[in-house]
Amino acid sequence: MRFDLTDLRLFLAVVDAGSITHGASDAGLSLAAASERLRDMELAGEVVLLERGRRGITPTEAGEALAHHARTILHQIARMRGEIGQFARGVRATVRILANTAAVTEILPARLAPWMAAHPQVDVELRERQSAEIARSVVAGFAELGILSSAVETGGLVLRPFAIDRLVVVTARDNPLSKRPQIRFADLLDHHFISLAGGALQDHIDAQASKLGAKLKSRIALRSFDGICRMAGEGVGIGIVPEAAARRCKRLTQIGILRLQDEWATRRLSICVRAEHDLTPHALSLFQHLGAKVTE
């Protein structure tokens, strides 16, 4: 039987996600392409690798064996590339990072800049994901580093504190809400919102509304925290953004800021890896750099 690296990455993604749909997304494949590859893998080996049920996907005994060897192979390849890259002139290396919205937009640019300037031969592939997906992908080896909320299940990962991410409500200064220092999310559900267009943070906020049996009344969805703050300052609606973004935008627009009282609105972010000894030299250096200082 012959499995290529894409096959192995896909299989691990499906096993770790417990779903072909989510696994295909993690591996960057369409559902149709992923399903065809998995069928071909089972046909080539003449063995059932996955049990398909109503509650998702579980590996058979043969599948567990394949997953074990696939993890070993992929980690060894990553280490080989990293170590050889240290001796090759002109060869560029890439470190893959998955992070939540606040880290991607507000924290990482300043923290990454000095390290990248000191390592001109290294590129960083940065993608935004939800914390649960980040943990799953780092365990599976799809990214060397992850930045996620410590509230999610992180068993099997090495964690270092990274930052405190507080979510706040932004409003127009003449909005009665702006006179309050803090508020519960449930008390905002009758208001109209300025949402973030896609992204892990908006998914997180929408999920909290769903837990309360509600759906946000969104007037418009924008792609930046600056846009949300500007709209809120004009009285279009209210928004929920990281506190760092709100404080920065307050210098440029007329907004009121109040904290959310809910526990989920204050998130302790951690930087995570599967194992330090599995990292390439560049990834280890970046892990140590990003984990050296906690920002609030």
CATH architecture of 5-84: Orthogonal Bundle (1.10)
Whole-angstrom distance, CA of residue 76 vs CA of residue 82: 10
- Sequence-distant (6+) residues with CB within 8 A of 109 are none
According to the model, what pLDDT value does residue 60 have?
93
Tell me the per-residue pLDDT of 84-107, one tens digit each, with 9 for 90 and over: 766 665 667 889 999 988 899 889
According to the model, what pLDDT value does residue 86 have?
61
Specify the DSSP class assigned to residue 154: -
pLDDT confidence band for 216 (50 / 70 / 90): very high
**What's the chain's average pLDDT?**
89
Confirm if 219 and 194 have CB atoms less than 8 A apart: yes
Question: Comparing 277 with 85, which gets the higher pLDDT?
Answer: 277
Question: Are the folds of 5-84 and 94-296 the same?
Answer: no
Question: Comparing 246 with 92, which gets the higher pLDDT?
Answer: 246
According to the model, what pLDDT value does residue 265 have?
94
Question: Comparing 280 with 78, which gets the higher pLDDT?
Answer: 280
- Sequence-distant (6+) residues with CB within 8 A of 243 are 165, 166, 167, 168, 257, 259
> 20-30 as b/e, with b when 16 or more CB fall inside 10 Å?
bebbbbbbebe
Report the pLDDT averaged over residues 110-134: 92
3-state SS, 47-78, equals CCCEEEECCEEEECHHHHHHHHHHHHHHHHHH
Neighbours of 74 (CB within 10 A): 18
Indicate the pTM of the whole model. 0.70
Evaluate whether the domain defined by 94-296 bears CATH number 3.40.1260.10.
Answer: no
Where do the domains of the chain lie?
Answer: 5-84, 94-296
Tell me the per-residue pLDDT of 35-72, one tens digit each, with 9 for 90 and over: 999 999 999 888 999 998 877 889 999 999 998 888 88
According to the model, what pLDDT value does residue 82 have?
66
Report the pLDDT averaged over residues 168-179: 94
Question: Comparing 104 with 80, which gets the higher pLDDT?
Answer: 104
**Residue 271 clears pLDDT 90, i.e. is over it:** yes
Question: Comparing 200 with 177, which gets the higher pLDDT?
Answer: 177
According to the model, what pLDDT value does residue 160 have?
94
